[in-house]
Structure 1
Amino acid sequence: MALRVLIVEDQLMLQQLLVGMLERHPALEVVGSVGSAAEGITACATLLPDLVILDMALPDGDGLQVAQALHVLRPSARVIVLSSFASTVERPPELSTAIVAILDKNRAFQDLLHEIEPLLPIGLDPLPEPSFNTEQLTQRELEVLQEIGAGHSSKTIAEKLCVSVRTVETHRRSICQKFGLSGAALVHKATLLSRKLA
């Protein structure tokens, strides 16, 4: 049986990206995605998820309200908190075992997978590492990736490729979205692959 996951995230684009990425894995079943604390509490009660990916700052309240409601409804369920201020978030004592991780939203999608993997039921295969198949990239994105790997700034890349800095930044965001990477993780990956792409 797959791990049942509920996503509570008010930023629609991030919510949809998380749904799309997590649904690719056979070990996970995304049972719902909502954008508010009230919807999150209702979804916890009706869907009884095994895991909630929870935004801390929701438009109608603190994400911890959802975690507390889930803990009462399903004590065995686990929570992974997402926050733009992860370093300042503290686990309430009563949720010390329920909240298994607090991740900064700037972290890579791969970091989220690493936190989910230990939660998989026994007998399910570990989650595969996100692939970094450059065949998914357009020719221009591949060129930008090579330049990033060479340590060049967006301005330098723009000048070299005769495009605007804004265009380069658009390509960088597209590459990050395709591979579920943060900006810092993209630079790291590009550096590792620079020799292969040369």
Structure 2
Amino acid sequence: MPNPTDAPSRRAEYAQRTRQAILDAARELYIEKGYFGTKVEDIARRARVAPATVYAVGGGKHGLLRTLIESGTTAEEIAAVLTRIEESTDPLDLVRFIVRATRERFEEWNGLMRQVVVAAPQEPTVREVQRIAHASMRNGLALTARRLARLGALRDGVDEARATDLLWLHLCNAAYFIRTDDLGWSLDESEAWLVEVLPPALLKAR
């Protein structure tokens, strides 16, 4: 006799697979064609669903973009990064860690964030998504600055607020875009430079 819970479980599994297919399709198309160049019909075609399903599951283009960005701010690896920051006891190791963490996030998200940067000036809903991404990153950098301050590691003249600003100046997406796009640096070169210049900018001399 069939288990009565099998059908609901299968439906939930199918719904989750459908949702993920739509999100994956939206991300790919935003990167390939840009936010404005992507239509709901394109997303539906790639995800192999009806356009009405895209609206029902994701709320259209803006809803999908917001879901994608929010998923990046609440991912398990972000929680792991924040825990590592709070538990750090070596200031230099912490600076090196946050450099590596931001590099890894940039590698993963720069394709989509480039399109957000392009679309944000023309579309208020995309600007809101950009603010969500910035707030998440700045929160991690502020936590790093707070931890360095509590360790008594910040150099004279650099308080927690200034340390947060210095970290943002060096590690935000815009800074990575300048180094990789305008200067042509590889991410290895960028990381090596950050590890060299950030500690003396932030920390007391050992």
What TM-score results when the alignment is normalised by the length of structure 1? 0.28
TM-score (norm 2): 0.27
Higher share in strand: 1
Larger radius of gyration: 2
